[in-house]
Amino acid sequence: MAVLHIVLMILKFIGILLLILLGIFLLTVLGVLFCPVRYSAQGYKDENKYGGKAKVSWLCHLVSFSVWYDSSQGEAGYGVRIFGIPLLKVLEELSKRKEKKKKKAKAAKVQAAEREGREIPEQDKASEEKTSKESSEAKEALEEKGSRKEQRGEDFRQTEGKAQRLLGKVKAIFQIPGKIFEAFRKFQLTAKGICDKIRKIKNFLESEKFKRGMCLILQEGKKMLAHVKSRKIEGRIKFGTEDPCLTGEILGAAGIFYPLYGENFSIEPCFDQTVLEGTISLKGRMYGIVLLISAVKILRSRDIRYIIRHFN
């Protein structure tokens, strides 16, 4: 009975652990799908300097990633924070501690080796020098004999190589007509294959399945872009060129995108000087469930699967 009780306790502990892990996994999935990923960016530009910062956060800034650059200081950087703790600094401190431990262990080994080390007696040194001298003389004699044999073999190989090169040139001359005919035949086959591929690609692009699949991709892509685009844009920009006509054309092109940046963003043209300066800040968010629904719609479509099979 005692053994059975212990086994049941172990199984109970394993079951509780598995339930905890399953709960953590489900919470993570729900967080990714229903907790928004927020992003923000700021930038500036004036006569002498420019810079900016971008940040992506999740779970109410419990997890965040940021990058920045400042031309006045000439430096760029990035950082990762989890629960407000700078992860990169923690990893750097841990690596420094490991290096210190390695250095201490290496110094201890060196000190132990110095304490236990002994010098080689003079008699042993003389015998070692004598043995190494005799072995070097024997090696020199063997190398001299080998070099003579190699010289004779090299002369024979050179003569044989000249004869083979001459024979190869004669064969190449007789093979020229056959090579020309083979190249012409391959060109015909290649041209025919290219024409067949062009015909197949044209039929594929004109098929109804391809058109429906591309319409679905464009439709869902617009939805995802509308969902991901920034909800708030603020700032101002002052620009100008020496050509008033070009400045007016740029201002007209910027007016096309007015629905994107709205009234909180001002554009000031200068028609009498070349200038570019201003500030901008934007914020937005995205939900994983929205992107997942669009992705599932695209992947479940038979037309999309037909396009994927064609390219594979």
* pLDDT tens digits, one per residue of 7-23: 888 888 999 999 999 99
Instruction: Copy the structure tokens of residue 4.
Output: 């059975």
pLDDT band of 40, cuts 50, 70, 90: very high
Stretch 89-114: mean pLDDT: 83
Clarify whether residues 172 and 244 are in a common domain.
Answer: no
Clarify whether residues 218 and 189 are in a common domain.
Answer: no
- 184 in a structural domain: yes
Which pLDDT does position 128 carry in this prediction? 45
- 147 in a structural domain: yes
- 259 in a structural domain: yes
C-alpha to C-alpha distance for 166 and 176, rounded to whole angstroms = 16
Last residue of a domain, one of 177, 206, 235: 206
Instruction: Copy the structure tokens of residue 101.
Output: 């431990």
- 82 in a structural domain: no
Give yes or no for residue 269 having a pLDDT over 50. yes
Side-chain half-sphere of 213: how many Cα atoms within 13 Å? 19
Phi, psi at 295, each rounded to 5° = -65, -40
* Helices vs. strands in the chain: H and E counts, helices first: 8, 8
Which pLDDT does position 127 carry in this prediction? 47
Give yes or no for residue 305 having a pLDDT over 50. yes
Which H or E run contains 240? strand 232-240
pTM above 0.85, yes or no: no
Task: Supply the range of the domain harboring residue 260.
Answer: 208-311
Clarify whether residues 284 and 214 are in a common domain.
Answer: yes
Last residue of a domain, one of 167, 188, 206: 206
Clarify whether residues 215 and 189 are in a common domain.
Answer: no
Which pLDDT does position 311 carry in this prediction? 73
Which pLDDT does position 112 carry in this prediction? 77
Clarify whether residues 140 and 235 are in a common domain.
Answer: no
- Say if CB 298 and CB 217 are below 8 A apart: yes
pLDDT band of 140, cuts 50, 70, 90: low
C-alpha to C-alpha distance for 129 and 123, rounded to whole angstroms = 10
DSSP annotation string for 102-126: HHHHHHHHHHHHHHH--PPPHHHHH
- Say if CB 237 and CB 267 are below 8 A apart: yes
Kindly report which listed range (21-25, 30-34, 127-131, 162-166) carries the lowest average pLDDT score: 127-131
Q: How many independent structural domains does the chain possess? A: 2
Clarify whether residues 141 and 180 are in a common domain.
Answer: yes
Last residue of a domain, one of 206, 221, 247: 206
Clarify whether residues 277 and 236 are in a common domain.
Answer: yes
Q: Helix crossing, 208-228 with 288-300: angle to 10°?
A: 180
- Say if CB 253 and CB 283 are below 8 A apart: no
Q: Which residue has the tokens 């692009």?
A: 205
